[in-house]
Amino acid sequence: MLQRNTALSPSRLKMDSSVKQWLKQRQDLLVLYGQLCETNCLEPTNLELFCQTLVDYLSAGHFTVFEKVAERCECYKEVGIDTVMLEKITSTTDFALNFNDKYTEPDDFEHLLQDLSVLGEHLAHRMDWEDQILKPYLELFSKLH
């Protein structure tokens, strides 16, 4: 049985809008990634939008979403955030930020498709780990509603 912190107000039991927005941003990032992987979409404006969305997604995850999930989960004694998964997620951030730095104002597109492929692998692992962190939060949310 879940034991709720009595200081938690009913209005805070709704899924945080920042989590919803971040999940939407993640979906948008995947769509942009798919478009970039198509050879006919290697345009600087598409790459710029992808890089901007990538950095926004990474930042929102680290500085907003994971804090909200940890805060919400800590209100319940049976649920906690998985710090090992959080460390794994953080390990993918450097590669993604290096990709952003390399392609924010690119002078060379020669390795873009190869770099996108490696970035895609990092993002796939990252999203699996994010899902593992979000799972208790989403289960908790569904039990409360």
Q: Under CATH, which number does the domain 16-144 receive?
A: 1.20.120.1370
pLDDT at 74: 61
Give the separation between CA 80 and CA 74, rounded to whole angstroms: 6
- pLDDT tens-digit readout, 86-131: 788 888 999 999 999 988 877 777 888 889 999 999 999 999 988 8
Give the confidence band of 8 by pLDDT, cuts at 50, 70, 90: very low
pLDDT at 10: 36
Residue 40 has pLDDT above 60, yes or no: no
Give the confidence band of 75 by pLDDT, cuts at 50, 70, 90: low
Cβ–Cβ under 8 Å, residues 56 and 28: no
Give the confidence band of 31 by pLDDT, cuts at 50, 70, 90: very high
Q: What is the pTM of this model?
A: 0.77
pLDDT at 121: 96
Give the separation between CA 18 and CA 60, rounded to whole angstroms: 8
Q: Is the dihedral of CA 104, 110, 115, 120 positive or negative?
A: positive
Domain ranges of the chain: 16-144
**Neighbouring residues of 15: CB distance < 8 A, sequence distance ≥ 6:** 141
76 or 96, higher pLDDT:
96
Q: Which of 11-20, 64-73, 113-122, 134-143 has the lowest mean pLDDT?
A: 11-20
Give the confidence band of 67 by pLDDT, cuts at 50, 70, 90: confident
| Residue at 19: amino acid letter | V
